Structure formats: structure tokens, C-alpha cells
């Protein structure tokens, strides 16, 4: 199958202590999966490019296929691969990814044996270049995947994202969007981003990542977006959580502000990735950046109302379109 929409990055095995309700212990997750799940609201012929170990539940891969996501690009490597990811949310929805023992103890929950020896992600100031075994290799990309119409690169280390980007650019994939890793969104690596942004369709950092990149220089998000636009990316989208998104078109110099669609928040995990997935589907479908951003916005709103990468696939068919129609009226050009 030649995918229309391809999502690549690291898959996870999620362990989550939500704001309310029972803990989530060992569930399929990861940025590319949340993005792909959200994209299924709007599009078809979706595929994943990732790497897992023999210990990864095969039933999960079958479930992805049942959700109309092609998994031929999920390489199963010998042995086990540590894909564990821990998150704990406070009552104020503040996120912590460290000290799982303490969080379980605080909630008077038994600590799961599966999390023994777990280490949280590296802090961004401790940038390292070694490749995680769960990151896909360019030598393992199925030939059909190189003919994809649109690609989204989920956060990975700088070198891994760069190698994947080069491979798909060489294959002339028409639409390529990239969500950066916070580990390299620091001032002394800003010029390195020219390698990524030159010719990129859309660069999609969070507000926190963007501010870190320009730390000590400016507080104006539009100034930041304009500079990155000069690096060569056609579009800059800034994910702002509860404040919605900013969209900057480097070609026309137009700016838009999208408010977050008001929705119930049950589990915010993967909302930013859901935005990326909806945006990619929308841009391929319509070719209109503003409409695509609105579709990403709605995808994120739907993702947060439930839990798991495939919650958006369970909504009423017309709900997404109804929300999209309402949101378009609230978008503001600035």
C-alpha cells in the first residue's frame, strides 16, 4: 500500500496516572500513534513507520490495522525494546514525567512491577546523540512508504529526524511537517534548524519550545515565527495548549490566531500530536493552511475528551465537522 498520510517516530507503552479515575497501565501510545489516530477522523490510507521489540504486544499491531492504520512499516527487531513512558497529572492538570514511585505512593496505589528500573526522559539540557533502538532506520523504510503523499515527523533526537527528513525529501514527498524535540530547541542550536526548515512544509513547535529556542532575545512569538519562516519553512504553527494555536504563513506574511475549541478534558495525553495529525490530513485534503490548522485544533479537542490514541475514532461522524464549522467563525487574522 502507498500511504496517503504517513506518521513516523517512537511508539510507547504508556503508564499514566490521570487527573481522575484508575491508572492506565501498559497501553499503546506514542506521538506518531496519537497523530495517526486523530488523522483517521478526516482521512484514509494512513500508515506508521516505527520500530518495536519482540516483546511489543502483537495484538496491539492488529488493533492498529483494525483502525485502518497500515503497520507494514513497523519493524519488529529481535529481543526487547524499552518503550515505557510514564506520566502523572495533578488535579490542576500539571504534568510530571519523573518519580513514578512517589506518584503511586502519593495516591496510595500499588507500584507496578513493570515500571521497576524506569528512568524518565533526558532533560533537554543534557542533549545526547545516541539513537534509541525504538527509532526507525532509513534502511527499513518500505519502498511504498517513500511514495507517500504527506509525512509527519514526530519528535526524535536531532540526528534521527534529520536522517529521516533527508530520505523523504530525496523521495520528493510533497508535504512534510515536523514536530521538534525539546532537547534541541535551545538557543545554541537555532542555526542548525536551517537544515530542517529549508523547504519544510510546516514546523510545529509548542509555545514552551519556541520560547526556549529564543530565550533571552525576544518574548514576541510572532517575531520568533518570522525568523523561522526566513529559515525556509512555508508555515510555522505554534501549539499553545489551552490558548489554541498561532499560524504564520511565511510566503504571504499572514498571521492567524486560533482559539482552543472549548471541550471537556479527560486526558490531555497526546493532544499536541492529535493536532499534528489533524493538520496533516487537512492540508493534504484541502491545501489550505488555515483550514488544516482548524482541523488540527478540532482533532486535539476530541482527543482530550477521552483517553488513548483511538478515542477520536469513536466519536459521532458529524461531530468533528460541526465543531470545525463553529471554529472557523472564531479564527482571527492578526
Is 324 a member of any domain?
yes
Which residue(s) pair with 46 in the sheet?
Answer: 5, 69
Q: Give the number of domains in the chain.
A: 1
Task: Say how many C-beta atoms besides its own lie within 10 A of residue 314's C-beta.
Answer: 10
Is 204 a member of any domain?
yes
Is 62 a member of any domain?
yes
| Residue 120 pLDDT | 80
C-alpha distances in Å from residue 197, one per residue of 31, 171, 179, 181, 182: 20, 17, 11, 14, 16
C-alpha distances in Å from residue 291, one per residue of 208, 298, 321, 326, 334: 24, 11, 12, 12, 16
| Residue 125 pLDDT | 37
Is 119 a member of any domain?
no
| Residue 18 pLDDT | 86
Q: Give the structural domain span for 65.
A: 5-12+29-82+133-333
| Residue 274 pLDDT | 97
- Residues in Cβ contact with 126 at an 8 Å cutoff, skipping those fewer than 6 apart: none
What are the residue ranges in the chain where pLDDT is below 50? 123-127
CATH of the domain at 164: 3.40.1190.20
| Residue 163 pLDDT | 96
What pTM did the predictor assign? 0.95
pLDDT in tens, 243-281: 999 999 999 999 999 999 988 888 899 999 999 999 999
Q: Burial of 59 by CB count in 10 Å (0-12 exposed, 13-18 middle, 19+ buried)?
A: exposed
Helix, strand, coil percent values for the chain (each to nearest 5): 40, 20, 40
Is 102 a member of any domain?
no
Alpha helices, DSSP H, located in 261-309: 271-286, 289-304
Per the CB < 8 A criterion, the answer to whether 156 and 181 are in contact is yes
| Residue 16 pLDDT | 95
pLDDT in tens, 179-213: 999 999 999 999 999 999 999 999 999 999 999 99
Q: Burial of 144 by CB count in 10 Å (0-12 exposed, 13-18 middle, 19+ buried)?
A: middle
Per the CB < 8 A criterion, the answer to whether 67 and 40 are in contact is yes
**CA–CA separation, 240 and 270 (whole Å):** 14
Task: Say how many C-beta atoms besides its own lie within 10 A of residue 47's C-beta.
Answer: 26
Is 90 a member of any domain?
no
Is 177 a member of any domain?
yes
| Residue 122 pLDDT | 56
**CA–CA separation, 290 and 286 (whole Å):** 10
**CA–CA separation, 5 and 201 (whole Å):** 14
**CA–CA separation, 222 and 238 (whole Å):** 10
Per the CB < 8 A criterion, the answer to whether 38 and 305 are in contact is no
Is 318 a member of any domain?
yes
| Residue 128 pLDDT | 52
C-alpha distances in Å from residue 144, one per residue of 2, 10, 107, 173, 185: 5, 20, 48, 12, 32
Amino acid at each position: 500500500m502507498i500511504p496517503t498520510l504517513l506518521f513516523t517516530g517512537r511508539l510507547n507503552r504508556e503508564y499514566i496516572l490521570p487527573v481522575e479515575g484508575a491508572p492506565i497501565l501498559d497501553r499503546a501510545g506514542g506521538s506518531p500513534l496519537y497523530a495517526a489516530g486523530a488523522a483517521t477522523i478526516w482521512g484514509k490510507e494512513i500508515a506508521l513507520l516505527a520500530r518495536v521489540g519482540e516483546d511489543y504486544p502483537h495484538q496491539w499491531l492488529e488493533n492498529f490495522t483494525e483502525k485502518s492504520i497500515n503497520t507494514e512499516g513497523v519493524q519488529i527487531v529481535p529481543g526487547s525494546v524499552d518503550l515505557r513512558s510514564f506520566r502523572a497529572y495533578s488535579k490542576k492538570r500539571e504534568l510530571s514525567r519523573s518519580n513514578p514511585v512517589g506518584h503511586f505512593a502519593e495516591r496510595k496505589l500499588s507500584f507496578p512491577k513493570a515500571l521497576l528500573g524506569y528512568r524518565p526522559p533526558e532533560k533537554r539540557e543534557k542533549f545526547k546523540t545516541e539513537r534509541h533502538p525504538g527509532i526507525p532506520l532509513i534502511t527499513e523504510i518500505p519502498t511504498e512508504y517513500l511514495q507517500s503523499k504527506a509525512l509527519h515527523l514526530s519528535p526524535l533526537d536531532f540526528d534521527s529526524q534529520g536522517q529521516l527528513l533527508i530520505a523523504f525529501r530525496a523521495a520528493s514527498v510533497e508535504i512534510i511537517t515536523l514536530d521538534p524535540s525539546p532537547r534541541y530547541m535551545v538557543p545554541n542550536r537555532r542555526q542548525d534548524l536551517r537544515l530542517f526548515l529549508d523547504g519544510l512544509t510546516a514546523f510545529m513547535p509548542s509555545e514552551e519550545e519556541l520560547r526556549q529556542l529564543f530565550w533571552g532575545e525576544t518574548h514576541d512569538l510572532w517575531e520568533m515565527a518570522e525568523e523561522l519562516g526566513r529559515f525556509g519553512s512555508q508555515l510555522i504553527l505554534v501549539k499553545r495548549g489551552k490558548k489554541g494555536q498561532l499560524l504564520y504563513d511565511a510566503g504571504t506574511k499572514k498571521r492567524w490566531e486560533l482559539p482552543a475549541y472549548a471541550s471537556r478534558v479527560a486526558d490531555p495525553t497526546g493532544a499536541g500530536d492529535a493536532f499534528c495529525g489533524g493538520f496533516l490530513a487537512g492540508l493534504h485534503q484541502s491545501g489550505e493552511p488555515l483550514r488544516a490548522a482548524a482541523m488540527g485544533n478540532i482533532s486535539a479537542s476530541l482527543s482530550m475528551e477521552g483517553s488513548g490514541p483511538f478515542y477520536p475514532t469513536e466519536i459521532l461522524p458529524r461531530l468533528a465537522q460541526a465543531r470545525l464549522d463553529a471554529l472557523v467563525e472564531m479564527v482571527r487574522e492578526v
